[in-house]
Amino acid sequence: MVYIFELNKLYDIDGSVAYNHAKLINHSCDPNCEVEIINNEIWISAIKNIKKKH
């Protein structure tokens, strides 16, 4: 899968590279977070309680 964040008109951030943690974001139809871009920074915020995996 390819995960691309459009940061602005000039830059995209590729979430599929090994060092980028964006690939761990829940991309389902029932998401647990939302993304906001503020001053060219990507902020990921939980929109519901997220259970810790054991």
Quote the pTM value.
0.56
Total residues belonging to the chain: 54
Distance CA 45, CA 10 (A): 24
d(CA 34, CA 27): 10
β-strand pairing of 12-14 with 33-38: unpaired
Average pLDDT by stretches of 10, the chain with 54 residues: 75 77 71 84 85 78
Is 52 strand, coil or helix? coil
CA distance 48 to 1: 25
